[in-house]
Amino acid sequence: MTPQLTVLAADTGGVNGVALAVLIALFLLVSVAGFMASRFKRGESLESLDEWGLGGRKFGTWITWFLLGGDLYTAYTFVAVPAAMFATGAVAGFFAVPYTIVLYPIIFIFMARLWSVSHRHGYVTTADFVRGRYDSRGLSLAVAVTGFVATMPYIALQLVGIQAVLEVAGVGGGDNIVAKDAPLFIAFAVLAAFTYSSGLRAPAVIAFVKDILIYLVIIVAVIYLPGQVGGWDNIFGAAQEKMTTVNEATGKPTGAFLPGVGQGWAYATLALGSAMALFMYPHSVTASLSSSSRNTIRRNAAILPAYSFVLGLLALLGWVAIAAGTQPIGLDGEPNAQLVIPQLFEDMFPAWFAGVAFAAIAIGALVPAAIMSIAAANTFSRNIYKEWIKPDATPKQEAKVSKLMSLLVKAFALVFVLTLDKQNAINFQLLGGIWILQTFPAVVFSLFTRWFHRWALLAGWAVSMVYGTVEAYQVINPVTGKHFGGSLAMVPGLDEMGYIAMTAFAINLFIAVVLSAILNAAKVANGSDETIPFDYFADADDPRVQKDLAEHSSHGEPYGDPDDIPGNAPAR
């Protein structure tokens, strides 16, 4: 950051009373609504609450689209992407647009098959599917552990988002180490309490309120703000000027206005790697499997890209902030790019609307974080605890383990935030992507073919996980000197910077192909396959699929089961 930023630190200190009051009021309102609704649901009247379930089991395409869209706007969209645009420009930030466009053709290709086979066999996680396809507990464990671990940095990103809002609103501050990180600990405590008390009910119930809040803020922000800073010409001009200025710490330009020569590879691999990774996360799989039919996902794949347009405009808010001269100074007096969007809102909006915007960002981070931690915890209790530790666990024990694990996964997320470099929060999501992408061959390729050998897939996964982690560790932020400072590294043999996840994926694929060829030639047993070709095409009118759908929709939970722990449904 440039030195003149610190001069204005005094301006942003102090509590913004009105905004903070509105934030707290809206937040309490939403939490209480969620809580009351979850109480109400335990009674007889399930009808209305079934309606609110995620994934729109009974909803038509358009309402599903509305609800799913609200879920796409997380701290990633509101905080991390604009912050990356603000700090280092288009390569680090705007790749999120092609990422969220190419995402949909990719899931179109394989998600319908995963839906069908999962409903024919009662799978609720990708690890379930891998186990059924290869009869391999080892490979299934690898997939489950990866899902659990990769979710942690993604939740960490949401914590950073909540922290950013609280910090700009003026919560916390001071010199000692506890007060300094107070907004972070408050964010963690709120998230933990929220998830622990309400499970998945609250996120599902408050979805409409939350989405309306988010859309309101987005519309106001992308329509009102650009005009306030002199229009798009001015915004792009200011961004170009900032990005070409030399950064004193590195001696290089601050960032990229457009991907320059040699940066196209980075931009493309970031987009493709993120897109392939997203639907491997436990929470995305849960949401997709909870849709009512095979084709709901495909229809939505055609209309969800509309959100990428708005995501692009939100990304450009990072550059609106450059034109507006926003100074994101943390309570410790240091510049922190993650604060840029909350700070922009505080500077440009009347205090009460800034409060509304803060609430939208905070709730928009809280709800996905709750869903992610629950999905990861369920993967743990189903595919690790029950499979390896205590096969005869009762549903009650499983539920308890799930709850504890959802706390643990958040605690680890907190550790990520405290130890890694949170100046570059988008990197958290990219780090998760490096890991989760390595389950792609075992899951997606296996949906189409059983040519790959289970040990080859396992070996490819193991090598690429180690490679990806080591490479990511070795990226050092030139400004702060911390490890895990970025997600780009030199691609071996190509002399270009690329997303580590894709390099690791290529290694993974290479090992899987070569070893599969060898193992298949040597006729090493490849496990037994409990699926048949038809399973990959079955739709909701299939009797077994209907049975599975009925089993999972006896109550309002998204793909839940009778003991209210989605993911704990008995395998058949």
Interacting residue ranges for another protein, rule: CB under 8 A: 60-61, 90, 94, 97-98, 101-102, 104-106, 108-109, 135, 231-233, 235-236, 258-260, 263-265, 267-268, 271-272, 292-296, 298-299, 301-303, 305-306, 308-309, 312, 316, 528-530, 532-534, 536-537, 539-541
Of the two residues 292 and 469, which places its CB atom closer to another protein in the complex? 292
Tell me the closest approach of the beta carbon of residue 535 to another protein, in angstroms. 9
Tell me the closest approach of the beta carbon of residue 42 to another protein, in angstroms. 27
Of the two residues 146 and 526, which places its CB atom closer to another protein in the complex? 526
Written as one letter, the residue type at 358 is F
Q: How far is CA 134 from CA 127, 347, 535, in A?
A: 11, 57, 15
Helices in 8-80 by DSSP H: which ranges? 9-12, 17-41, 47-52, 61-72, 75
Of the two residues 39 and 572, which places its CB atom closer to another protein in the complex? 572
Of the two residues 159 and 272, which places its CB atom closer to another protein in the complex? 272
Of the two residues 98 and 199, which places its CB atom closer to another protein in the complex? 98
Q: How far is CA 35 from CA 197, 283, 399, 403, in A?
A: 8, 22, 19, 17
E strand or H helix at 491, and its extent?
Answer: strand 488-491
Of the two residues 448 and 473, which places its CB atom closer to another protein in the complex? 448
Of the two residues 58 and 180, which places its CB atom closer to another protein in the complex? 58
Find out whether 117 and 447 touch, Cβ atoms under 8 Å. yes
Spatial distance between the Cα atoms of 196 and 189, rounded to a whole number of angstroms: 10
Tell me the closest approach of the beta carbon of residue 109 to another protein, in angstroms. 6
Tell me the closest approach of the beta carbon of residue 317 to another protein, in angstroms. 13
Helix pair 182-198, 351-379: axis angle to 10 deg: 60
Residue linked to tokens 């000027």: 241
C-alpha Rg value of the chain to the nearest Å: 23
Tell me the closest approach of the beta carbon of residue 158 to another protein, in angstroms. 25
Tell me the closest approach of the beta carbon of residue 545 to another protein, in angstroms. 12
What is the DSSP code (8-state) at residue 534? G
Tell me the closest approach of the beta carbon of residue 517 to another protein, in angstroms. 23
In this structure, what are the phi and psi dihedrals at residue 329, rounded to the nearest 5 degrees? -110, 125
Spatial distance between the Cα atoms of 288 and 120, rounded to a whole number of angstroms: 15
- DSSP string covering 277-332: HHTTSHHHHHHHHTSSSHHHHHHHHHHTTHHHHHHHHHHHHHHHHHHHT---B-TT
Residue 233, number of CB atoms within 10 A of its CB: 9
Tell me the closest approach of the beta carbon of residue 316 to another protein, in angstroms. 7
Find out whether 485 and 424 touch, Cβ atoms under 8 Å. yes
Q: How many CA atoms lie within 13 A of 391 on its CB side?
A: 3
Of the two residues 158 and 293, which places its CB atom closer to another protein in the complex? 293
Spatial distance between the Cα atoms of 498 and 494, rounded to a whole number of angstroms: 9
Tell me the closest approach of the beta carbon of residue 264 to another protein, in angstroms. 3
Tell me the closest approach of the beta carbon of residue 423 to another protein, in angstroms. 25
Buried b (16+ CB within 10 A) or exposed e, 542-568: beebeebbebbbebbbbbbbeebbbbb
What is the DSSP code (8-state) at residue 381? I
Residues 6+ apart with CB under 8 A from 105: 301
Of the two residues 275 and 340, which places its CB atom closer to another protein in the complex? 275
Of the two residues 352 and 537, which places its CB atom closer to another protein in the complex? 537
